[in-house]
Each structure stands twice: as structure tokens, then as C-alpha cells.
Amino acid sequence: MKPERHGSLHADLALAGIAAIWGFTFPAMQLALRDATPLAFVSLRFAVASVALAVIFRRRALYARPGAILYGALLGLCLASGSVLQTFGLLYTTASKSAFITALYVVLVPPISIVLTRVRPRVTSLVAVAVAGIGLAEITSVRMHGLNTGDLLTVGCSLAFGLHIVVAEVAAPKHDPVALGFWQTLTTAVASSIAMLAAGRAHFAVTPWTVIALVVTSLLATALAFTVQMWAQRETSGTHAALIFATEPVFAAIFAALIQREWLGVRGLVGAALILTAIVVSEIGARRAPRATESAAARETV
């Protein structure tokens, strides 16, 4: 099996920036969805992101290599599946359970990566994943009493997002991040539009919050975020990327407090502390790994 990739500080900071942007979208979208149906919003979000990438990076986006288009479409199917399953899951379960189950992709990425990529996670990464899982349960204040239909749909959403990170781990080192970003957003826009039409109900009212949320989610949380993710995952493993993305609910709680005056309780603070501790544990393991590899190589030489 291959060893887990060690990421650079620049890549880690880029992934943390993406998590912060995604965290901001939670309160923004919550306000926007009062005046728009979820699938209509998702379809517009990814359509606008696709147009933006095509305009800014016309040659790199539209004239990509076949391999980049194929991987981009696969990434887009993962994103679309996750978004649609999460949306319909919310019809039957609570927001806290949805947030927790969705975030479980952090725990799902290591086994998916082992099966699909034959990458062996570091012991510190596995410990960090376990700690982050506990932290996610605390910060969402979830109470699990059996699984209903909505929960099962959201499990599928979590699996789709986990697959997205693992596929990105394979595709990112091989292809242009702009091409991957464009083709996955375009595929998601098409797939979510089909789901919207199948659902038979679409509504999007132009209000200050729907416009603000659409601009932020399409340009920053989609066009910029997924392109930067493709760049960052050239250097780091899927497991490590998933751990950094676990800070998303922490940022969401911070922005919710600033925008909507929704404050974290004691459980939320404990959960946030556990997630940050998990990332520190993973970072320590990642920084020590190169030295351990060099020492092993030196012993073999002697």
C-alpha cells in the first residue's frame, strides 16, 4: 500500500480558507432559502459558477484534456448526488442530524481511500479522524435515536462527499485544477437541474439575501473553492483534506453568531475544541512523517 501524502502549509491554509467560506454559506443560505427552493438555488449556484469559470479561464476550462473532463464529470456527479440527497434528506430529518451525518464524510474518507487508492493513512490521521468525529457530534448537539428515511438519505450524501474528496485525491495531481473545477461545477449544474425538474417545484425570488447568498456561494464557495481544492489536493491526502474540512461547522457557528446571534453552547465549544485538536494531531503526524521516512532510508543505506 502507498503511504499517505504529506501536504504543505500553503495547501493546508488553502483548504482551511475553503472551510471558512463554506462555513459562511450556512447562515447565508438559511436566510436565502426562505425565498427559494433548495434545488433551484443549487442549480443556479453551480450554473453561475460554471459561467464564471468559463469566462475567466476560457481556454483552460473549455479546451481541457479528455482525462480532466472525465474526472471533472465524475467529481460533479459526486457533488450533485451529495447535494440532492442532502436536500431531500432534510425533508425527513432535523437540521442538527443532517449536519452531523453529512460531516461524517471525515470518518468515511480513510476507508474509501484504502479501498479505491490503496493509500495507507498514518496512525495519527486515524486518531485525529476519531477525535474529529466526536467533536462533530458535540458541535451539532446531535441526539441519534435510530435512523429514519431522511437520515439514510443523508448517509448517502456523506458517502458521496467522501467519494468526491477521494476522487480529487487521485485526479488533482494529474490534471489542471481549473479544468477539474469547471467540469465538476458544470456537471453538477446539469445534474441538479434535472433533479429540480423531476421534483416539479422550483422557485427563486430575487431578494437581498438570495442575491447575496447566490453571489457568495457561486463565486466564492463553488468556482473559487473547488478550483483551489483541486490545487491543494495535489499535495495532500484525502484523509488530511477531510480533517481540515471538519472545521466547516466551526466556522459556520462563528458566522451564525456574528450574523444571526446564534451562540455556541458548552457542547458546541467542546466540539470545536476537539475538531481543532484533531487537526493539530494530524499536523504533528504529517510533519514527523518525512523525518521518519528519511531515517528509514538512512538505515537501509547503512
pLDDT digits (tens, 9 = 90+) for 38-58: 889 999 999 999 999 999 999
Question: Which of 219-232 are b and which e, b meaning 16 or more Cβ less than 10 Å from the residue's Cβ?
Answer: bbbbbbbbbbbbbb
Q: What are the residues whose beta carbons fall under 8 Å from the beta carbon of 97, sequence distance 6 or more?
A: 140, 142, 144, 150, 151, 154
> 97 and 154 in contact (C-beta within 8 Å)?
yes
> What pLDDT is stored for residue 292 in this prediction?
44
Q: What are the residues whose beta carbons fall under 8 Å from the beta carbon of 245, sequence distance 6 or more?
A: 15, 18, 19, 22, 105, 106, 165
> What pLDDT is stored for residue 95 in this prediction?
63
Residue ranges of alpha helices (H) inside 64-220 are 66-89, 95-103, 105-117, 123-139, 149-171, 177-199, 208-215
CA dihedral 140, 145, 149, 155 (to 10 degrees): 50
> What pLDDT is stored for residue 88 in this prediction?
80
Q: Write out residues in the chain with pLDDT < 50, as ranges.
A: 290-302
pTM value? Answer: 0.80
> What pLDDT is stored for residue 69 in this prediction?
96
Distance CA 150, CA 92 (A): 4
